[in-house]
Amino acid sequence: MTSQVHPSSYISDKVKLANNVKIGPHCYLNGNISIGENTELKSHVVISGNTQIGKNNTFYPFSNIGCDPQDLKFKGEDSNLFIGDTNIFRENVTISKGTKDGGMLTHINNNNLFMTGAHIAHDCKIGNTNIFVNQVTLGGHVNIMNNVVGGLSAIIQFVTIGSYSMIGGMSGIDKNVLPFSLAIGNRAKLRGLNLVGIRRKNFDKSEIKRINDIHEQFIQGINFDN
């Protein structure tokens, strides 16, 4: 099936669309862009730069994908954005491309949900099956692994968030977060395991106990106020 493009949308000559891509009204695509099959742009979506998008993604109105980094050191480098498969980008999501200080690449894997107003800055690395609740903000060079959930939180530059972690609402994260952790607060502190998230992923009791024992060994003696 060929792609469907609304006549009010602008698609530059360099854009490559796979089969069954749907471009709704008033979208603007300008750059070295490729979009995989069954991806849909609802309306009023902007995609620019060197942006590669996989299949089965959905972009809601006023998302801005592949935009220039909000970094004063950025001087127009020909950097890139990669997006995998089956991601959802809700309204007003912004995803910046990379910079020369971060390998020239922002990279997003598969099956992630970016809720309204989420911002993913330059050179971030996003794994799989993460949920970025409304207004989450990632600074540059942030690494989010897999199955992480957070809402109304801000992650400072160069921080890594381990898999299966939960970031509490309105938290400010300025340190790395261990996998399986629950981190809450302004300049967040670890509050134990993310037990709800772990159980939802069907870890059995013996696995949870082992994770808990390892977690406690790591956090013993650490002063998170320094």
Which one is catalytic: 140, 162, 168, 197?
140
Per-residue model confidence as pLDDT tens for the chain (226 residues): 799 999 999 999 999 999 999 999 999 999 999 999 999 999 999 999 999 999 999 999 999 999 999 999 999 999 999 999 999 999 999 999 999 999 999 999 999 999 999 999 999 999 999 999 999 999 999 999 999 988 889 999 999 999 999 999 999 999 999 999 999 988 887 788 898 889 889 999 999 989 888 888 877 755 444 4
Residue of 36, 54, 123, 215 marked catalytic: 123
pTM metric for this prediction: 0.89
Active site residue 13: no
Measured distance between the N- and C-terminal CA atoms of the chain, rounded to whole angstroms: 58
Q: Which residues pair with 61 in a beta bridge?
A: none
The helix/strand/coil state of 150 is: strand
Q: Is 123 annotated as catalytic?
A: yes
CB 36 within 8 A of CB 17: no
Q: Which of 107, 119, 122, 141 is catalytic?
A: 122
Chain Cα centroid distance, residue 63 = 13
